[in-house]
C-alpha cells in the first residue's frame, strides 16, 4: 500500500495564501471606499436640500424685515402711538472740554 504524504510547506500554497489574503484585503478596502462615497453622496444631497430650505427661510425673513422697516409701516407705527415727526431733532450730546 502506498501512502502519499504531501509536502507540509509547499511554496505554491504559501503564494496562493498570500495572494488570497491580498485580494481579500483589496476587496474589503474597495467596499469601504464605495460605502464612504455613497454615504458622502447622500449627505451632500441632504445638505443641499437643507441649504435650499435655509435660503428660502432667509428670503422670507428678509422680506419681513424690509416690510417692518418700510416708510409706510414706520408712518403707521408713529400714527398709532401718537408720535410726531420733528424737522430738527435734538439728540443727546456729550459736552466737549470736560
Q: How does the average pLDDT of the chain come out, rounded?
A: 89
Give the pLDDT score at 1.
63
The C-alpha angle 10, 20, 29, rounded to 5 degrees, equals 155
Question: Does 37 fall in a domain?
Answer: yes
What's the rounded Cα separation, in Å, for the pair 64 and 58? 10
Where does the chain have alpha helices with state H? 11-68, 71-80
Question: Does 2 fall in a domain?
Answer: no
85: which 3 cell numbers? Answer: 415727526
Question: Does 92 fall in a domain?
Answer: no
Question: Does 69 fall in a domain?
Answer: yes
Give the pLDDT score at 85.
83
Question: Does 6 fall in a domain?
Answer: no
45: which 3 cell numbers? Answer: 444631497
Full domain range(s) for residue 45: 12-80
pTM recorded for the entire structure = 0.54
What's the rounded Cα separation, in Å, for the pair 11 and 9? 6
pLDDT digits (tens, 9 = 90+) for 2-35: 676 666 667 888 899 999 999 999 999 999 999 9
Q: Count CA atoms closer than 13 A to 53's CA, side-chain side.
A: 6
Question: Does 7 fall in a domain?
Answer: no
Amino acid at each position: 500500500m502506498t501512502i502519499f504524504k504531501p509536502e507540509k510547506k509547499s511554496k505554491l500554497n504559501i503564494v496562493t495564501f498570500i495572494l488570497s489574503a491580498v485580494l481579500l484585503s483589496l476587496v474589503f478596502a474597495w467596499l469601504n471606499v464605495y460605502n464612504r462615497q455613497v454615504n458622502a453622496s447622500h449627505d451632500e444631497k441632504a445638505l443641499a436640500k437643507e441649504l435650499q430650505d435655509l435660503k428660502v427661510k432667509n428670503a422670507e425673513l428678509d422680506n419681513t424685515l424690509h416690510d417692518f422697516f418700510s416708510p409706510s409701516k414706520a408712518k403707521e407705527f408713529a400714527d398709532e402711538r401718537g408720535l410726531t415727526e420733528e424737522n430738527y431733532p435734538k439728540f443727546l450730546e456729550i459736552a466737549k472740554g470736560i
